Amino acid sequence: MTSKNIQFELLAQEGEARCGVLKTPRGDIRTPAFMPVGTQGTVKAMLPEHVRATGADVLLGNTYHLMLRPTAELINELGGLHKFMLWDGPILTDSGGFQVMSLASLRKMSEDGVTFSSHIDGSKHSLTPERAIEIQCLLNADIQMVLDECTPFPATEEEAERSMELSMRWAARSKEAFGDRPDQALFGIVQGGIYRDLRERSIQALTDLGFDGYSIGGLAVGEGPDLMKQVLDYTAPALPREKPRYLMGVGKPEDMVAAVLRGVDMFDCVLPTRSGRHGQAFTHRGPINLRNARHAKDPRPIDAGSDCPASSRYSRAYLHHLFKAGEYLGPMLLSWHNLHYYQELMSGLREAISNGQVTGFVEGFHAQRAEGDIEPL
Amino acid sequence: MTSKNIQFELLAQEGEARCGVLKTPRGDIRTPAFMPVGTQGTVKAMLPEHVRATGADVLLGNTYHLMLRPTAELINELGGLHKFMLWDGPILTDSGGFQVMSLASLRKMSEDGVTFSSHIDGSKHSLTPERAIEIQCLLNADIQMVLDECTPFPATEEEAERSMELSMRWAARSKEAFGDRPDQALFGIVQGGIYRDLRERSIQALTDLGFDGYSIGGLAVGEGPDLMKQVLDYTAPALPREKPRYLMGVGKPEDMVAAVLRGVDMFDCVLPTRSGRHGQAFTHRGPINLRNARHAKDPRPIDAGSDCPASSRYSRAYLHHLFKAGEYLGPMLLSWHNLHYYQELMSGLREAISNGQVTGFVEGFHAQRAEGDIEPL
């Protein structure tokens, strides 16, 4: 096996919290990292240069959506996903499994994989561990995921075990299909629901195979923050120290902070863009909804001190008006602001961990939110 | 009367076509000028800095929409429309009359003005010549319009005469209400439908009053390009040579070119942004619709040689995908591209007129379009 051109370097650790850098041929990913989601080949309502300007090092693309439209084959013919969507930094793709379960119809699971009908036009498709890798290679994804079954919550221990074991067999097939790709990374995905024994068996199975990084799947599926933290408490530290750890589909700012304290390095979530499209802005004092009448005459920007134009230049009164009037510019500006807030949170965590001050940083994070979601005018 | 700080300077004339500059305290408006429409305090799907970057010198705001939401009074309280929407260049506002007729319900016209119900919430409002000026002053519009009645098409000569005469009485009241404002301009609006005698009487009435500029109203309302050109043939040259001439609500690229040849200086239209939101891109070879399947695999940008990122960086295949997938970025990019195309057309006309080459320029404009709307791959 040739040596990998994707390498993780741990720069600092404080308690379980880690700060590092995942070096890739397309650029460095500073961790803890938040990956904006570009489901259909675009981070919704954002120009790629503005996504970059928020401080994002890496994007997430969704295999399920792209395989259906415009198809992985067409994106490949056009030069790959980076060129297609004008993003020259690294791209991480999921395997498509999660979205098949949440969006597709007429699903049939078997040992081999899953067949389903497209939510767009009803056309029939199948996804196997091998096909998921093939698609991610056609997209030219820098960081790829094994196909897995995201165990639902709640699940009995027996259900979670059966599901985890299937995912581990699929992980082995995925690794085999992925083969030897020096410029691309393959991550295994830990499953096992809320059962410690299953999580540990899953980690053992994956580390026996050996992956370039480890994802934690099956969380943020309804178990709530307390159970999530419990699972992370024993799952994250059990993962190989020298590899990046990615908590899939998380999350809320407070959940990401909790996960970083438990040793997680990477995150993705649609929350900043989705909630931005609905008028919600994340702030240091908590989320605010710009549709609310209390913002109608407020001349202040969301964050006067920010270096993000969307945060610092437009008044809350204007943003309120844009959402009331149903204008495109409202979602455009709040998606931008929220992505900037998320990157700022990651950068704050990285700096705090580097300086051995993560405890104080997290105390400050919670104290600011406790002050209430908005300063009096 | 104090001297005006808004002054029109004619720089070149070729036939009836004119090139000039309307100097305002907020910056120069180079003519022929196209004014992007910012109906509700935003040019739809565009950041203000990108509108500026296309080459736009001036925006149009809609009095009817803004008086209803968020209200002219609130915009005034927040520092005026420029500050509200982050546009520091000049803004021209219409009087609201046209939109009352096309959007509001329960309209009642009288000599005094018009009462109506809001299309948003049914609330009752009235618009008189005096109130239209008051609103435009609250918005702090640099160039304001008199309230008029846009004569519909078709209209009998008697209907057009009655309507034009009402508009002329309103023009006198508007000028009286506007008073003496050195930093702002008031334009009269020529009406009279397709009747030369009425147009000439309207021009006489307005020039007797004396305005800072003259708008041509009541066109682009269904009369078609041939009748529009006929009306412009006798209307535009009859207007004072030393004042700017604004053809309201026009238009299509070919209509603007025809109007410039007849002596028009200023235009506004929702077409570039509205059609951009629906997948249509204007090009030198005519409009193309990116939703069309023939673009699905086309790796070429809309215009490789353009200095507009939306025109030159993204492939047609990608734009096709964005529209098929219903993504925000499609309307964002095509609105940007189309506004850039419109400004490029204006800039080409200005340069051609300055160099005495407008005939050749217009021949080239039509020849390129005759080649077909798309080059073979």
Question: What is the CATH number for B136?
Answer: 3.20.20.105
Catalytic residue check, A94: yes
Model pLDDT for residues B120-163, shown as the tens digit of each residue: 999 999 999 999 999 999 999 999 999 999 999 999 999 999 99
Run of H or E including B27: strand B27-31
- Test B321 with A296 for CB contact under 8 angstroms: no
How remote is the C-alpha of B353 from its chain's centroid? Answer: 21
DSSP state of B301: B
Which pLDDT value is given to residue A375?
A: 83
User: Is there a single domain that holds both residue B135 and residue B219?
Assistant: yes
> Which chain A residues have a beta carbon less than 8 Å from that of B44?
327-329
Model pLDDT for residues B98-120, shown as the tens digit of each residue: 999 999 999 999 999 999 999 99
Tell me which of B269, B287, B308 is where a domain ends.
B269
> Which chain B residues have a beta carbon less than 8 Å from that of A312?
none
User: Is there a single domain that holds both residue A29 and residue A110?
Assistant: yes
Say what the pTM is.
0.98
Which pLDDT value is given to residue B377?
A: 76
In a domain, B1, yes or no: no
Run of H or E including A353: helix A329-354
Residue type, B41: G
> Which chain A residues have a beta carbon less than 8 Å from that of B328?
42, 44-45, 328, 331-332
Structural domain boundaries enclosing B324: 276-371
User: Is there a single domain that holds both residue B204 and residue B100?
Assistant: yes
User: Is there a single domain that holds both residue B280 and residue B258?
Assistant: no
- Test B69 with A325 for CB contact under 8 angstroms: yes
Q: Is the ipTM of this complex over 0.85?
A: yes
Q: How confident is the model at residue B375 (pLDDT cuts 50, 70, 90)?
A: confident
Nearest residue of A to residue B299 by CA position?
A: A78
* Helical pair B329-354 and B316-324, crossing angle rounded to 10 deg: 130
Backbone CA torsion sign across B222, B228, B234, B235: positive
Question: Which stretches of B146-263 are assigned E, i.e. beta strand?
Answer: 185-190, 213-216, 245-247
In a domain, A376, yes or no: no
- Test A329 with B45 for CB contact under 8 angstroms: yes
Q: How confident is the model at residue B316 (pLDDT cuts 50, 70, 90)?
A: very high
> Which chain B residues have a beta carbon less than 8 Å from that of A69?
321, 324-325
User: Is there a single domain that holds both residue A255 and residue A362?
Assistant: no
Question: Which residue from B78, B325, B328 is facing A328, i.e. has the nearest CB?
Answer: B328
Closest among B44, B64, B163, B191 to B120, alpha carbons compared:
B64
> Which chain B residues have a beta carbon less than 8 Å from that of A314?
86
User: Is there a single domain that holds both residue B187 and residue B147?
Assistant: yes
Which pLDDT value is given to residue A53?
A: 98
- Test B78 with A315 for CB contact under 8 angstroms: yes
d(CA B89, CA B91): 7
- Test A40 with B321 for CB contact under 8 angstroms: yes
CB pairs under 8 A between A and B: 101
User: Is there a single domain that holds both residue A288 and residue A216?
Assistant: no
Which pLDDT value is given to residue A314?
A: 98
Nearest residue of B to residue A316 by CA position?
A: B84
Residues B142 and B136 sit within 8 Å (Cβ to Cβ): no
> Which chain A residues have a beta carbon less than 8 Å from that of B296?
70, 74
Q: A117: how many CB neighbours lie within 10 A of its CB?
A: 14
According to DSSP, the residues that pair with B109 across neighbouring strands are B114
- Test B84 with A327 for CB contact under 8 angstroms: no
List A residues 65-124 in contact with B (Cβ-Cβ < 8 A).
65, 69-70, 74, 77-79, 84-86
Please say if the pLDDT value at position B273 is more than 80. Answer: yes
In a domain, B261, yes or no: yes
Question: Which residue from A41, A44, A79 is facing B321, i.e. has the nearest CB?
Answer: A41
Residue with structure tokens 């030069």? A79
Q: Long-range contacts for A201-207 (Cβ within 8 Å, ≥24 apart)?
A: A201/A164, A202/A164, A202/A167, A202/A168, A203/A235, A203/A238, A203/A239, A205/A168, A205/A171, A206/A168, A206/A171, A207/A239, A207/A240
User: Is there a single domain that holds both residue A242 and residue A286?
Assistant: no
User: Is there a single domain that holds both residue A254 and residue A295?
Assistant: no
Which pLDDT value is given to residue B304?
A: 94
Peptide bond into A154 cis (omega under 30): yes
User: Is there a single domain that holds both residue B232 and residue B290?
Assistant: no
- Test B317 with A85 for CB contact under 8 angstroms: no
Question: Which residue from B70, B86, B318 is facing A84, i.e. has the nearest CB?
Answer: B318
Nearest residue of B to residue A70 by CA position?
A: B321
Mean pLDDT of B321-337: 98
Closest among A205, A268, A215 to A244, alpha carbons compared:
A215
In a domain, A12, yes or no: yes
Tell me which of B236, B269, B302 is where a domain ends.
B269
Report the catalytic residues of B. 94, 268
Question: Which residue from B46, B47, B327 is facing A42, i.e. has the nearest CB?
Answer: B327
Q: How confident is the model at residue B357 (pLDDT cuts 50, 70, 90)?
A: very high
- Test A327 with B40 for CB contact under 8 angstroms: yes
With H, G, I as helix, E, B as strand and everything else as coil, classify residue B90.
coil
Question: Which residue from A40, A86, A313 is facing B325, i.e. has the nearest CB?
Answer: A40
d(CA B364, CA B345): 12
Tell me which of B269, B285, B317 is where a domain ends.
B269
Residues B67 and B93 sit within 8 Å (Cβ to Cβ): no
Closest among A282, A279, A287 to A329, alpha carbons compared:
A279
In a domain, A259, yes or no: yes
d(CA A55, CA A77): 30
In a domain, A377, yes or no: no
In a domain, B292, yes or no: yes
> Which chain A residues have a beta carbon less than 8 Å from that of B86?
313-314
How close does chain A come to B201, measured CA to CA in Å? 40
According to DSSP, the residues that pair with B145 across neighbouring strands are B187
User: Is there a single domain that holds both residue B189 and residue B300?
Assistant: no
In a domain, A52, yes or no: yes
User: Is there a single domain that holds both residue B255 and residue B301?
Assistant: no
Residues A225 and A255 sit within 8 Å (Cβ to Cβ): yes
Which pLDDT value is given to residue A36?
A: 98
List, for chain A, all residue ranges whose pLDDT scores fall below the cut of 70: 1-2
Mean pLDDT of B3-17: 96
Residue type, B104: A
Count up the domains in chain B and report the number. 2
